[in-house]
Chain A
Amino acid sequence: MNSLVTAAVLLALMSIAYQVGWSRSRAIEATAGKLHSRPAYHGYLTVVWALVPALVILAFWLIFSQRITQSYILSLLPADIAAQGEGDLATSIRRVRDIASGFGVAGETAPWENAAGQSLREFQLLAFAIVVAAAAGAGALAIVWLRQRISQRFRARNAFETVIRVLLIACSGVAILTTAGIIASLLAESLRFFSFVSPLEFFFSTRWAPGFSTTGNADGEYGMLPLLWGTLMVAGIAMLVALPIGLMTAIYLSQYASPRVRDTVKPVTEILAGIPTIVYGFFALVTVGPFFSKAGALVGLDIRATSAFTAGVVMGIMIIPFISSLSDDILRQVPRAMRDGSLGLGATRSETIRRVVLPAALPGIVGAFLLAVSRAIGETMIVVLAAGNSPYFRLNPFEPTSTVTVTIVKQLTGDTDFASPQSLVAFALGLTLFTMTLVLNVVALQIVRRYREQYE
């Protein structure tokens, strides 16, 4: 109800502002001749001018209304009630609020409660009326002031365009703000973590056993090397699967396939990239893991259903389209003349690809590879479901393992109070992950960009 009234007042203010700006400029135009800006711009500018003070006042009210109402209720309560403990006081305040809202409370009410409810209701109405009136008044004042300034030479369009420009800059600042926010928040929480556990232990110890957060202390061991090893192992297996298949697919599609085949195959493989990773995780857990386990038993290998191998292979499947479409783009950028030259000298197509096209495209492919590695390192749901979550140093890929991302999920899930090192460690791990992927991404993007410029 209140928000509806506010919205209605704001809308009315905006339409009045537009109308005032527009008609004023029209009136001047009628008497004095052409203005610098068209009437619509005068209207827009007036709207902006009216909106800003009104919104500022409403924002202030939004921030402070809770506190003001709370202290007003406290002042209404009789002394003995106000002196109650925290819980009873909160109950009394809630009862007063319920009475004021008209919903009432069940059972008998004390007379002071009724009185307090009544005056709270009046206070709320009055305060709301005052705030809305103030907002509308400030807007109206701004309209009147701007109306004075509208003249033949008033540059309403330029002023309005400046407003838009500021808005655009603010929006592009969001991206910077996000990165800054990620770095700042991760750093701050990581520093808190490092006040419990020394960075040396965190980065170089080989045992991961953080204990439980309920004990509330830092006992437990926080060496991230086993997690890092697990991450690299899973990512490595994924790349072993994805690189040959992805690269050969890209080669086939860009060098051999007819346009029709290409146009059907490429979108289909790219479906793989669009499937949510939780689906891959489920697929790995329910189908691929047991399948490997049985297949391993047939050849005498002990493969666990949830293992680095399972997670890695499924992650590799997920990454195939990533590598194939990036490499495909890159292979197609290799100048035709180079290929034709090689073919003209009598080389077969595969020789041309291996000796001419691939070496020329190598930097770009390396870039694509690094981007894919960065994605593999940051991938979460597949490893959460299929890697077995067992944070020990194991060289055997057929055993369960754990990764940085799995551990972040495990340590942070469902936690609201980030005070114990057991949950804070997630931020240190997040920072590590962010730094790793940042370096990979920046290097890869630089390589790809430079490569693209080379052949443009």
Chain B
Amino acid sequence: MPAHTATAAAPSDGSAERLQRIRAGLSARHGRETRFRFYGMLATALAMGFVVLLFAMVLAKGLPAFTQAKLLLDVTFDPAIVKVEPKPVQSLDQTPADYRRAMQDWERQVTLVNWNRIVEQAVRAKAPDFQIDSRQILSIVENNERFRLRDRFVADPSLLGRTIPVTMLASANVDNWLKGTIDRSLPDAQQQLRDDARALADRLHAEGTIRFQFAWGLFTNVDSRSAPAAAGLAGAFMGSLYMMLVVMLLSVPVGVMAAIYLEEFAPKNRWTDLIEVNINNLAAVPSIVFGVFGAAVFINYFHLPLSAPLVGGLVLTLMTLPTIIIATRSSLRAVPPSLRQAALGLGASRTQMVFHHVLPVTYPGILTATIIGIAHAIGETAPLLLIGMNAFVASVPGTPLDQSAALPVQIYLWQGNENRNFFEARTSAAIIVLLALMLALNGLAIYLRRKLERRA
């Protein structure tokens, strides 16, 4: 101990001096320690704070959009306005094509009826003494309500001459005005509605004709540009669902089998090393690169349809595959070697050992990884933009090959809508739906893992 012997010459005041120096520095060191610890807590609190902030903001903005102004009206299908022939019936000697033509002719007649007047009459009936011209009355009712009246009539022509209660959506501008999303003190020139329409809306709201009700339309309607208050997520939801199906059906079997080969069968050589590096790298490739690849290969080379959930699903499958492979491999690696040795020792072949004994143990892990991978995939936007899924699609896709939107892309489209006041809340509502879906999927993954692991 050379250091000790060096100071041993003057043991008493040497150690005292050293103690002195240590003591002198001690408070500064402890101060640094406290500060450092404080920084750590601060950083952690910040990270947590961002989560809280993000959710608070999305909820604050989005929750109001789940209720919507609706008009509770009594609609009379006045025969003086609805002047049409009786609905055609298919006769036995008619081909389907001829019947369809007759039907189309009749529906054209029905469409030519002045449904706006019927809407107008229904609103006027609620405020008979209010002096206002027809255009202003129609500006408080959503644009597509007349088509909904027409569709009701097409479905049931016996409505002619009867009066039925109908709940109509108020227009987006009325919704803004009544919710206060637009500044009420703005001068007339900057208001979306004319002053008499605003007064009528206020009066109807006070009288209970306009009420705020849960916006079911958000879930049951498709996207709409001409009738923003009726824009909903149904199409996007189905599109995302189809994509999830495609991802699930393709990425799980392929991913699990690839993982089994790499973990259980592949010889350890340069080739499998390459595959390993390659898979790890694929997991970190930016999602937009997959989109560019999809555009070049699926759209440009194979000529698959644009905006189709199938193509979106294929692109997302390629993105999810590495995640599932990596997770399955780590689950396989976690299976104790004794299980393998026992199976092999009793004479099972390698394939039997893997499929009968090792794989069943890893099901919880694979299941969780799959759900988390899919939850991640449905939130992905950028690659979908490149394969044309940002097209405006106002229908619910019937098959994975139909044009369709997807939830995240719908969010992207809505945030760009010109009617900012209205769509900021709608977009946030769509975000809430997407986040709820993802949280539910993740929750399911956690629940399943707990449940399955306990049993195993």
Contacts and interface: CB of A to CB of B under 8 A. Distances in A.
Contacts of A377: 286
Main secondary structure of the interface of A (DSSP, over half): helix
Interface string A146-170: 0000000000011001001101110
B37 A272 contact: no
B203 interface: no
Interface stretch (A47-55, A178-186, A202-210): A178-186
Contacts of B385: 409, 413
Contacts of B100: 106
A272 B47 contact: yes
B277 A178 contact: no
Contacts, number: 272
B288 A409 contact: yes
A161 B348 CA distance: 12
A179 B288 contact: no
B95 A104 contact: yes
Given A320-B50, A437-B286, A171 B297 contact: no
Contact of B32 (A178, A244, A350, A378): A350
B40 A249 contact: yes
Contacts of B101: 106-107
A182 B266 contact: no
A105 B96 CA distance: 8
B97 interface: yes
Interface stretch (A62-70, A120-128, A130-138, A280-288): A280-288
- Bin chain A's interface residue count: 35 or more
A378 B288 contact: yes
A412 interface: yes
Contact of B44 (A174, A265, A275): A265
A272 B51 contact: yes
A145 interface: no
B434 A276 contact: yes
A348 B33 contact: yes
Contacts of A384: 382
A223 B137 CA distance: 55
Contact of A248 (B39, B274, B411): B39
A274 B375 contact: yes
A314 to B, nearest CB: 10
Contact of A433 (B95, B289, B318): B289
B30 interface: yes
Interface in A407-436: 408-409, 412-416, 418, 426-427, 430, 433-434
A164 B286 contact: no
B442 A274 contact: yes
Contacts of B97: 98, 103-106
A46 interface: no
Nearest to A158: B349
B281 A409 contact: no
A275 B379 contact: yes
B300 interface: yes
A255 B43 CA distance: 14
Given A265-B48, A437-B286, A175 B40 contact: no
B143 to A, nearest CB: 26
B321 A175 contact: yes
Nearest to A348: B33
A276 B381 contact: yes
Interface stretch (A18-26, A75-83, A294-302, A438-446): A438-446
Contacts of B349: 157-158, 161
Nearest to A160: B351
A371 B284 contact: yes
A443 to B, nearest CB: 11
Contacts of B289: 182, 186, 378, 430, 433-434, 437
Given A245-B43, A278-B379, A378 B306 contact: no
29 contacts: A102-B96, A165-B351, A168-B257, A168-B261, A172-B257, A245-B47, A252-B43, A252-B44, A253-B44, A256-B40, A256-B41, A265-B47, A274-B376, A275-B435, A276-B381, A277-B381, A278-B381, A287-B57, A348-B30, A350-B33, A351-B33, A380-B286, A405-B288, A414-B388, A414-B390, A416-B388, A418-B296, A430-B292, A433-B286
Interface of B: 29-30, 32-33, 36-37, 39-44, 46-48, 50-51, 54, 57-58, 61, 95-98, 100-101, 253-255, 257-262, 265-266, 274-275, 277-282, 284-290, 292-293, 295-297, 299-301, 306, 318, 321-322, 325, 349-351, 375-376, 379-382, 385-386, 388, 390-391, 408, 411-412, 415, 424, 427-428, 431, 434-435, 438, 442
Which 4 A-B residue pairs are closest in the complex by CB-CB distance? A378-B286, A276-B379, A252-B40, A104-B95
